[in-house]
Amino acid sequence: EAQVTQNPRYLITVTGKKLTVTCSQNMNHEYMSWYRQDPGLGLRQIYYSMNVEVTDKGDVPEGYKVSRKEKRNFPLILESPSPNQTSLYFCASSLNLRGAEAFFGQGTRLTVV
Amino acid sequence: EDQVTQSPEALRLQEGESSSLNCSYTVSGLRGLFWYRQDPGKGPEFLFTLYSAGEEKEKERLKATLTKKESFLHITAPKPEDSATYLCAVRSLVDKLIFGTGTRLQVFP
């Protein structure tokens, strides 16, 4: 089954404690991205990757890091989480950028206290 | 600036009462317009892609249409299971995917 898998689904952590949210896709897609979703603000792109070892900032990259060492995996790293990073996070993948639809993971609800 | 605006923010319908959701956009060239359905706490689920003005796509009770400035998602005789937030997104020529804030649809029996 074609899917994007994120882990964990729920996470509560304390300010400053480094964490990683994993994302994996089994569709051999080139393009992967991370979004955060906040009430009234919609989905905002954090980082994206056009292929292995190629990443770039989205609209709200501050406080986040990513890496793309393999085509299928695109982890999101919060080196020193803060309460304003409490949000619902989604990983997405697309075959390419030429009008292809994006497939989303089930989401990670992160709470930073 | 590229922008996507969805209206209304929320819509309450009686079962069987047809209606339309609007997505208006301004982008520097359109590579594609996408409709998604999102259930609470879950990831957006892809519904349709539209590429050019005049194009239409249908799936069960849903029909999406596209003009040069907006798209409509028509819901015919909705059922309670159609209740969800419907998201519109556009991909511009600079390959950025821009989302609207969605329309929250509630269908009552």
pLDDT band of A97, cuts 50, 70, 90: low
Query: Above 90 in pLDDT, residue A15?
Result: yes
| pLDDT (0 to 100) of residue A100 | 72
Cβ(A27)–Cβ(A38) under 8 Å?
no
3-state secondary structure chain A: CCCEEEECCEEEECCCCCEEEEEEECCCCCEEEEEEEECCCEEEEEEEEEECCEEEECCCCCCCEECCCCCCECCEEECCCCHHHCEEEEEEEECCCCCCCCEECCCEEEEEC
In 3D, which of A33, A37, A26, A14 has the Cα closest to residue A76? A33
pLDDT digits (tens, 9 = 90+) for B60-98: 999 999 999 999 999 999 999 999 999 999 988 777 788
- Nearest CA to A88 out of A46, A38, A13 is that of A38
Query: Can you tell me the mean pLDDT for A75-101?
Result: 90
pLDDT in tens, A30-84: 999 999 999 888 899 999 999 999 999 999 999 999 999 999 999 999 999 999 9
B96 versus B31: the higher-pLDDT residue is B31
Residues 6+ positions from A39 with CB-CB distance below 8 Å: none
Determine contact: B102 vs chain A, CB below 8 A: yes
pLDDT for A99 equals 62
CB within 8 Å: B97 and A99: no
Minimum distance, in Å, between the CA of residue B15 and any CA atom of chain A: 27
The shortest C-alpha distance from B62 to chain A (Å) reads: 18
**Residues of A with Cβ-Cβ distance to B99 under 8 angstroms:** 42-44
At residue B94, the pLDDT reads: 75
The whole-number pLDDT of residue A98 equals: 66
